Amino acid sequence: MLSFKPLIGIILVLALTLTQGCVVTRGTIGEPLQEDAISQIKKGTTTMAEVVALIGAPDRIVRGNDREIFHYYYYDGKSPAMLLVLLNFIRMDIKSDNLYVFFDKNGIAEEVVYGKRTGRTQFRLWPFGE
């Protein structure tokens, strides 16, 4: 039983040595967009007020082609880093989700455009390659 103690100590020291200088950071902007709420927006029937009730107030309101466009966004960034005494690697991967709801002149949803990229955000340390 006693012989395990040095082994545990060695494993602990090894683990600490291997992970020393490791930094893991995650940053987000906004709230993740709920796909079940987005799917409830029906073109030609859902009103502006209903969209706000479902998803919340937009992050931006854009005007284009005489129409109001609600823009919702969410950003997710993952950044691992290895900060050793002589060598540092830092990599950050940021992706965004965007939702646009186009309203006609009567305030009825006319088009919904949604793109999700944050699912592909990765913790990648190695800065070389793609």
Partner 1 sequence: MSSLAPRFSSIRFAIGILCILFLYAGCSVRRVAFNDVVTVEQVSFIRVGQTTIGDLADHIGAPDEITESEFGVVALYNWSDTKSAAFDFGALARLILPYAPTMTLNKTGITPEQLQVVFDPQWTVRAYGFSRRTMDKPIVWFWPF
Among 58, 69, 74, 76, binds partner 1 (CB under 8 A): 69
Tokens for 109, please give them. 């949803």
Closest to partner 1 by CB, 12 vs 122, is: 122
Read off the amino acid at residue 63: R
Could you give the angle at the alpha carbon of 59 between the alpha carbons of 108 and 111, nearest 5°? Answer: 30
Q: Would you say the C-alpha torsion 51, 56, 57, 61 has a positive or negative sign?
A: negative
Is position 101 an interface residue for partner 1 (rule: CB under 8 A)? Answer: no
Closest to partner 1 by CB, 11 vs 25, is: 25
Is position 63 an interface residue for partner 1 (rule: CB under 8 A)? Answer: yes
Is position 41 an interface residue for partner 1 (rule: CB under 8 A)? Answer: no
Q: Which of 67, 76, 71 has the alpha carbon at shortest distance from 27?
A: 76
Binding residues for partner 1, rule CB under 8 A, total 34
Among 21, 37, 48, 96, binds partner 1 (CB under 8 A): 96
